[in-house]
Amino acid sequence: MKSKFLPIAVILLFLAGAMAGCTDEKDKKKTITISAAASLSDVLKETADAYQKEHKNEKIVFNFGGSGALSQQIIHGAPVDLFISAAKQPVDLIKDKGLTASEEAFFKNKLVLIVPKAAGNKQINFSNLDSGNVKKIAIGTPEAVPAGTYAKETLESLNKWGSLKEKLVYCKDVRQVLQYVESNNVDAGLVYYTDAITSKKVKVVSEAEDSWHQPIVYYTSIISDGKNRNEASGFLEFMKSEKAKSIFEGYGFSY
């Protein structure tokens, strides 16, 4: 009797396992991997939360950093579905390598000069950055961080780049600039407006004029060999919705 029912038992176990496997596959969430400029960390997390409430079978993971560094990671094989850059050049770099399936200009930002609130009543603005009262100024590394590129262009427009070079402290991304100013390790820093308003430890003392630098426009790019690029396209479409736009505008971005 044992031997008669053993094959049936084995078949039933196999079918049960196969059905469980189908269920696991059905329930398994697809992961959208997004590399994005550090200045987007807060707004994208909130946008992703809103998206995932409507798309239960999708999960979004982020890699935040300087746009230039992120583009190099993608060029060297980092598994990414969607790239969101704070400038066009990093997107052009991956486009030149044939890695982009789409490219689109998206939202805008502003560049501002910030100082630590702990600095008290010290008067600092663009016109007196080269005075003795200002010892250190933090900016993103121009070669790797778009905010640093915009900062350099601004200082060059004001004919201050050469005189301020010895005072400059270079940072890996705009969030590190913010941290240096918050901790009072530098006297001033150049960051995006959207970063400045996230902190209670800094204050905006001046806003760079648009004519001082290139337009600050963020670009999105679906990566051609992304594992879940179709889902990434869905998230990108969600970012164009009124719900997502209201989130971005709440963080100070404009369209």
For tokens 């029912």, name the residue: 5
**Binding-site residues from annotation for molybdate:** 39, 67, 147, 174, 192
Question: CB–CB of 183/151 below 8 Å?
Answer: no
134 — phi, psi (to 5°)? -105, 115
Enumerate the H helices of 183-241 as residue ranges: 193-196, 229-239
The three-point CA angle 60-18-10 to 5° equals: 155
**Other CB atoms within 10 A of residue 90 CB:** 28
**Binding-site residues from annotation:** 39, 67, 147, 174, 192
Separation of alpha carbons 199 and 38, rounded Å = 15
